[in-house]
Structure 1
Amino acid sequence: MRQWMRKIVGTAAALLAAGTMIAAELPAAQSEELAKNLFGAERLPSVAPARSYGFYSKGCFSGGLAIATDGPTWQAMRLSRNRRWGHPTMIALIEQLSRDATKVGWPGLMLGDISQPRGGPMLSGHASHQIGLDADIWFTPMPNRRLSLSERENMPAVSMIKKGGLTVDDRLWTPAHASLLKTAASYPQVERILVHPGIKKKLCDTVKGDRSWLQKVRPFWGHDYHFHVRIGCQPGSIGCKAQAATAAGDGCDKSLAWWFTEEPWRPNQNPDAPKARDLMTMSSLPKECRAVLGQPNPVSEAAVTYPVNGMATTVAASPAQPVIQPPASVGAASAASLPAGISAFAPTPDYGVPLPRPRPPQQ
């Protein structure tokens, strides 16, 4: 009997100890810091090859570049957000689009958010933009002067949609808007362009001749004052999860008609429900994202700012090495060569005496 009682007491003590351990672990799990706080606190990218990990709405990236705040054919907006960072191919494509846009009557790009320095969930706003392969571009054409810092923070973006409606305001929409979207869709790297359903409908109703590029233009909530460019997973990013291919056809079918029914616009029955970013901890993200957070910073932001108009390559091999910039005669880097030929931390070419960084012309 005594032996049996000792077994009961021993078992109870073991269960009590196990319960105490579980109770102690629960607060620790519940108090794990949100991934958005960790990634939102990073001010510079990681010293590593350019690679994307995870999915557009659940991931991170390493070896990012920042697009310059000003270029001859673009201006970056909302600078305080520090979201000018992206995979080198994404940054190169934005610059290429800014140049090509001027050939179709668009004066230059106003750039919205790309990604945080190391990607990851953002403190506010987007669900995607986490792996350096998304970028927002305003439908507002670039003015013929350089905006002040205050203007970049406070200037409102203009919606292309009629107030209280779902269709384009024809007083604002121009053929140049359509040409800009067609130019963006022309690049093979671009897989999707997200626009407000009303803008997609406007394109469906007005585009003549070649309509194949409309397949890439997809309707989605929001995107009335900007369009969202998304490129595919890049070579070397084996941990990047691709998005499903777009449906065949120009998208001007019943899938578009659905957006003009009541269903997609019904009020949210639970507006206080937390967003995904408010729940994501590091355990929600690919395991590589922990390593990305732990990788060292570059020597400065100047070391990882993409060249203005491809005229000066500002890359650094490591924080200990100086940044050496080639002369303009080296020529512009092409988007196609970037994945293999340039990253934020590729070996720095020896071009001799460092030259000053070219400044964009003042207008």
Structure 2
Amino acid sequence: MRPISKTILGLAAAALFCGAISEPTFAQEEKTAKQLFGSVKLPNRGDAEPLGFYAKGCQSGAVALPTDGPTWQAMRLSRNRRWGNPAMISLLEQFSRDAAGLGWGTGILVGDISMPRGGPMPSGHASHQIGLDADIWFTPKPQRPLSPAQREDIPFTSMLDKSKFLTVDSRRWSPTHARLVMQAASYPQVQRVFVNPAIKKKLCETWTGDRSLLGKVRPVYGHDEHFHIRMNCPPGAAGCERQASTPSTDDCNSKALAWWFTKEPWAPPKPADPNKKPVKPRQVMLSNLPKACAAVLSAPSRSEQDATFQGGGQGGGGMAYSPSVPLPAAASSLDTMTDGDMPGPGSDVPLPSPRPSR
């Protein structure tokens, strides 16, 4: 049995004191978990810790990525999804500097990380629940910073050729795009990098650096306009549920990758049986998440200034943090660089509904 961390014990004690952990209040149980977590605007006071699995959990002690930094900008600010585990925020700052060094504009545009206390989002993601996932746009940070209005309205740029089935558009994709994705995969803290299957195939065909790192690059629906970085559970995070390891090979000749280029993933859903009673979708409730999440939800809020990460960038408030695992220096050579589970052959993971048309 893994040792229980002080954070979880503290959360449990606090929740028992206010009657919130093992028996969520009636008012809480009336609302779905995404309604409860989506209504919270600030993180709880407490030690930083991911609780549960990437697609079924919450986070304690989150910090915010500053909206602006020398080599990054946070996008879609109205969503309030720039909160993460301090290790994730620190990694994003490091990655932004490395991206700028690769010639990726003046840095990165960061999409969704997580909500202030994690948990299921009202829309858009099944994962991103424990502060260890982050989306990076396939659009570099421009020389002139984007205004708040531009961050809300600027469109995504797909890397796919819409006239061809699962094919990267050579007019948009460049070696710098490839170097950017593989830089993300190079960090030891990064467990997976999710991309569109066409992008994985393109990397398999063209990447000449460390091929073993391609095993971290996982194909999945969508992800043609951005890619998704997922971190390993931080050391000592006893409440974080770890995911299976990625292949140690490039995984380019696997049945799992080939499956994406068959008709099966893209076939329309079978028509519903008119004689069968429709099944009402099952909502995720607070009681379905790890017990400590009730305490996270009920805990007092930290102020936004105190909860803004103070790292190498600007615009932050007063929380300083030293990651327990030192981040690597920018790789001197890209050749040295190093999915909840995602659908694939033999997988019991449900397919998205509705399924994408392309």
- The answer to whether the superposition gives a TM-score over 0.5 is yes
> One-letter code of the match for 2:297?
L
Residues in 2 aligned to 1:224 and 1:313: alpha-carbon distance in whole angstroms = 31
What displacement does 1:29 show? 11
Q: 1:296 aligns with which of 277, 295, 300?
A: 300
State yes or no: 1:285 paired with 2:289: yes
**Corresponding residue number in structure 1 for 2:117:** 118
What displacement does 1:236 show? 3.2
Q: Taking structure 2 as the reference length, what is the TM-score of the superposition?
A: 0.77
- Asked if 1 retains the 8 angstrom alpha-carbon contact of 2:112 and 2:134, the reply is yes
Gaps of 5+ in 2: 1-25, 273-277, 328-358
Taking the TM superposition and a 5 Å limit, the aligned residue runs for 1:29-40 are 32-40=30-38
**Corresponding residue number in structure 1 for 2:83:** 85
**Corresponding residue number in structure 1 for 2:256:** 255
Taking the TM superposition and a 5 Å limit, the aligned residue runs for 1:92-241 are 92-107=90-105, 108-164=107-163, 165-241=165-241
Taking the TM superposition and a 5 Å limit, the aligned residue runs for 1:326-345 are 336=325
What SS class does the counterpart of residue 57 from structure 2 fall into? strand
Residues in 2 aligned to 1:123 and 1:311: alpha-carbon distance in whole angstroms = 30
> One-letter code of the match for 1:39?
F
Q: Quick check: which one's helix share is greater?
A: 1
Residues in 1 aligned to 2:189 and 2:171: alpha-carbon distance in whole angstroms = 32
> One-letter code of the match for 1:83?
R
- Asked if 2 retains the 8 angstrom alpha-carbon contact of 1:86 and 1:117, the reply is yes
Judge which range, 86-95 or 144-153, deviates more: 144-153
Residues 308, 234 of structure 1: alpha-carbon distance in 2 compared, 3 angstrom cutoff: closer
Gaps of 5+ in 1: 1-27, 317-324, 326-331, 339-363
Percent identity between the aligned chains?
Answer: 57
Residues in 2 aligned to 1:72 and 1:144: alpha-carbon distance in whole angstroms = 10
What SS class does the counterpart of residue 183 from structure 2 fall into? helix
Residues in 1 aligned to 2:322 and 2:117: alpha-carbon distance in whole angstroms = 23
> One-letter code of the match for 2:246?
T
What displacement does 1:307 show? 2.2
What displacement does 1:34 show? 0.2
What SS class does the counterpart of residue 260 from structure 1 fall into? coil
Post-superposition Cα deviations, 1:67-114, rounded to whole Å, max 9, x if no partner, equal 011101111110000000000000000010000111211121011000
- Asked if 2 retains the 8 angstrom alpha-carbon contact of 1:51 and 1:236, the reply is no
- Asked if 1 retains the 8 angstrom alpha-carbon contact of 2:66 and 2:316, the reply is no
> One-letter code of the match for 1:57?
A
**Corresponding residue number in structure 2 for 1:343:** none
Residues 293, 31 of structure 1: alpha-carbon distance in 2 compared, 3 angstrom cutoff: closer
What displacement does 1:250 show? 0.4
Residues in 2 aligned to 1:266 and 1:230: alpha-carbon distance in whole angstroms = 28
- Asked if 2 retains the 8 angstrom alpha-carbon contact of 1:199 and 1:224, the reply is yes
Residues 34, 96 of structure 1: alpha-carbon distance in 2 compared, 3 angstrom cutoff: same
> One-letter code of the match for 1:176?
T
> One-letter code of the match for 1:294?
S
Residues in 2 aligned to 1:106 and 1:335: alpha-carbon distance in whole angstroms = 28
- Asked if 2 retains the 8 angstrom alpha-carbon contact of 1:92 and 1:335, the reply is no
Residues in 2 aligned to 1:187 and 1:177: alpha-carbon distance in whole angstroms = 17
The two structures, once aligned, show a CA RMSD in angstroms of 2.4
Post-superposition Cα deviations, 1:203-224, rounded to whole Å, max 9, x if no partner, equal 0000114212111100001101
Q: 1:305 aligns with which of 298, 308, 330?
A: 308
Post-superposition Cα deviations, 1:223-260, rounded to whole Å, max 9, x if no partner, equal 01000000011123211111111123101013211110
Residues in 2 aligned to 1:89 and 1:182: alpha-carbon distance in whole angstroms = 20
Residues 273, 222 of structure 1: alpha-carbon distance in 2 compared, 3 angstrom cutoff: farther
**Corresponding residue number in structure 1 for 2:344:** none
> One-letter code of the match for 1:268?
P
What SS class does the counterpart of residue 235 from structure 1 fall into? coil
- Asked if 2 retains the 8 angstrom alpha-carbon contact of 1:60 and 1:130, the reply is yes
Between the two proteins, the alignment pairs up a number of residues equal to 294
Post-superposition Cα deviations, 1:282-336, rounded to whole Å, max 9, x if no partner, equal 11101000000111111x21111112525797446xxxxxxxx8xxxxxx95673
Residues 265, 29 of structure 1: alpha-carbon distance in 2 compared, 3 angstrom cutoff: farther
Residues in 1 aligned to 2:290 and 2:203: alpha-carbon distance in whole angstroms = 38
Judge which range, 224-233 or 250-259, deviates more: 250-259
Judge which range, 35-44 or 238-247, deviates more: 238-247
> One-letter code of the match for 2:294?
R
> One-letter code of the match for 2:261?
F
